[in-house]
Amino acid sequence: MTEIANSPPKFCAPRSAKNRTYSLRAAPPHSVPGEIDPRVAAVAAARGAGDLESFFNPNFKASMPDPSRLADMQVAAARFAKAVEAGESIGLIGDYDVDGATSSAIVIRFLRMLGHEKVVWRIPHRIRDGYGPNTRLVDEIAAVGASLLVILDSGTAAIEPVARARSLELDVLIIDHHEAGETLPDAVLVNPKRPDEDRSLDYLCTAGLAFLFAVAVMRELRVTGFFERKAMTPPDIRGLLGLVALGTVADVVPLVGLNRAYVALGLPRMGDIAGIRALVDATGEQNFTPVSCGFVFGPCINAAGRIDDMSLGAELLVTEDPKRAEFLALQLHEMNQERQKMQKLAVQSAKDAVVETGQDTGTGVIVLHDENWHPGVVGLVAAKVREAFDKPAIIIGNSGKGSCRSVDGYNIGENVIAAYQAGLLVKGGGHAAAAGLTLDAPKLDALRAFMNASITGFEPPAVAVDFLMECGALQPDLVEAFDKLAPFGQGNPKPRIGVIGGFVRKVQILKSLHVKAWLSGSEGDTVILLFNAIGTPLGDQLSRSEGKQVDVVGVAEVSTYGGVTSVVLKPEDVFFGVDAHAQAYAA
């Protein structure tokens, strides 16, 4: 078997079908843990894993940083502990996504573990309230007698709502992971992206920060003698790790460092939560994995925030009543099925519109508006359109509310902010990969022109390949060995493998949607399978590639059919060379 490592990739064309170039990651000097395949260790080292022993064997205690390294964490923990000791009423405002729901549930369950039941919580409604806390929610919490307000997964930019809370004599704690502006609210703010932070923990979502906060509060309560006075055994807060794992995966933050430990150690504990057990029964999904978190459990909880009221999703994660959990889980599962139908129709409509408006060819930013698209699904539609056409996508739905998804190297948030500053948007903001906006419909063409001008001359950066092999050399044992790199997700994807030196021996179209091809090379055959490919530029080109020389970059999976185990490569990109027969004749 020929494996090509630590050498520049030599593909059959200068650029891929997606107009990309690729580079092979090089592993620095590293030691190989005894039970790990050296090829797998090399991939981890090349990705910057550092201590490979800890990487492959995550340990909770070894991975946990001192929470007080975050600015104001100790102040926040002391104020919260004081409220628990004094029996104060605590108010909580979360957010309408899975990170907001899980972080809210973590804090509420933590209070329950401490025997503190005086808590009132609210989740903003996506359509009625918009993002973040507002004065109405603050007033509701103040009206029930709360003296402490905790804001989770938002609040860093909530200057006015926090000022309102302070005028009502509420102390305010904020635990958030969103970017901070120049002006901060009058609150105790725990955020690894504060201007005075070193950002070493800026990859954490709010669920992960909420767990660190619970650790800090536990330490504070031990110091003050709380447990001795209450004759309580300190609770084992590791039971909250299942919520941390779910929030971390669903918020698509990098699965590196502490997040990797959170997910590896939290997945087996997801069944500790009554609401998640109820979702297992409602959905039929029995496994707790990053895939089930990202594509089954997370979307069910998110569906409430997308098309209804996220309080339902948060309540599912808070309740201990099996009957209530069962009712909520079934309701959320039905909502998610409704969301899937809405999304499917919107995605197809958007893809058709891309072609009809001529935005499927050339470079540029896809910009579409349709009042029939629900604001709760436009982000999902934008991701699908971006994936299908390999171009940044801005999808704007009902009431002009839109969502944006980008390709590597193009900072869509920066350009959306520039469009807002140019007077083309009612609202706009975001980061490199994603953004949100509100548009007045008459300015659609001007926005499209502005975004297309912003991408003029853009060259996508080289994409990293983890492993390079001759066609036919990829075998099940290596693909299975790569599972040691799990949990996979954002920041730690499945290895990207380059298969070179093949030609397309046969192409088959499956169900008028998918493209399957058999590649032949010097070391045998490699099978590739591209799903939902027909109608996309890459899929259509691959469907006509029989007889051509190709190199493929993708992710491999092991498949067993009829007792035979083999490898299937799922392409992300393809290099198309000359006709293989013409090349042989010329030789």
What's the pLDDT tens digit per position in 51-94? 899 899 888 777 889 999 999 999 999 999 999 999 999 999 99
Whether the pLDDT of residue 587 is over 50: the answer is: no
333 has a pLDDT exceeding 60: yes
% pLDDT > 90, the chain = 81
Classify residue 285 as exposed, middle or buried by CB count within 10 Å of its CB (0-12, 13-18, 19+): middle
408 and 555 housed in the same domain: no
CATH assignment at residue 491? 2.40.50.140
Claim to verify: residue 173 and residue 40 sit in the same structural domain:
no
CA-wise closest residue to 518 among 541, 538, 548:
548
In a domain, 263, yes or no: no
Span 247-266, average pLDDT? 93
Confidence check: pLDDT of 367 > 70: yes
What is the rounded average pLDDT of the residues 225-229? 96
From 454, 475, 502, the end of a domain falls on 454
Q: What is the average per-residue pLDDT within 282-296?
A: 96
Q: Give the domain range for residue 409.
A: 357-454
Give percent above pLDDT 70 in the chain.
97
φ, ψ (nearest 5 deg) of residue 185: -70, 160
Residue 190 within any structural domain of the chain: yes
Last residue within a domain, chosen from 177, 209, 236: 236
Q: Looking at the structure, do residues 113 and 39 belong to the same domain, yes or no?
A: no
Q: Is residue 243 part of a domain?
A: no
Is 460 inside any structural domain? no
Same domain, 126 and 38: no
Within 8 A by CB and 6+ apart from 327, the residues are none
- The answer to whether residue 344 scores a pLDDT higher than 60 is yes
CATH of residue 127 = 3.90.1640.30
pLDDT band at 435 (very low <50, low <70, confident <90, very high): confident
Indicate whether 361 and 502 sit together in one domain: no
State whether 516 and 385 are in the same domain.
no
Question: Is residue 42 located within the same domain as residue 84?
Answer: no
Q: Examine the domain organization and report whether 512 and 438 are in the same domain.
A: no
Is 126 in contact with 310 (CB distance < 8 Å)?
A: yes
Identify whether 295 is part of a domain: no
The answer to whether residue 518 is domain-embedded is yes
Domain count for the chain: 3
Q: How far apart are CA 383 and CA 334, in angstroms?
A: 23
* pLDDT-derived band at 582, boundaries 50, 70, 90: very low
Indicate whether 282 belongs to any domain: no
- 381 and 427 housed in the same domain: yes
pLDDT per position as a tens digit, 141-169: 999 999 999 999 999 989 999 999 999 99
Report the interhelical angle of 241-250 vs 257-266 (nearest 10°): 120
| Residue 427: band (very low, low, confident or very high) from pLDDT cuts 50, 70, 90 | confident
Q: Residues 148, 196: one domain? A: yes
Residue 553 has pLDDT above 60, yes or no: yes
pLDDT at position 1, please?
A: 42
Q: Tell me what pLDDT residue 8 has.
A: 58
CATH number at residue 444: 3.10.310.30
In a domain, 219, yes or no: yes
CB atoms inside a 10 Å sphere around CB 408 = 11
Instruction: Return the higher-pLDDT residue of 46 and 535.
Output: 46
**37 shares its domain with 64:** no
What pLDDT, on the 0 to 100 scale, is given for residue 2?
Answer: 44
Window from 241-245, 274-278, 449-453, 530-534 with minimum mean pLDDT = 530-534
More confident residue, 321 or 578: 321
Token duo for residue 183: 């002006």
Before 185, cis peptide (omega within 30)? no
Please give the pLDDT value at position 10: 83
Average pLDDT rounded to a whole number, residues 551-555: 97
- Domain co-membership, 529 together with 440: no
* 487 prior amide bond cis, ω within 30: yes
pLDDT band at 373 (very low <50, low <70, confident <90, very high): very high
Last residue of a domain, one of 454, 479, 510: 454
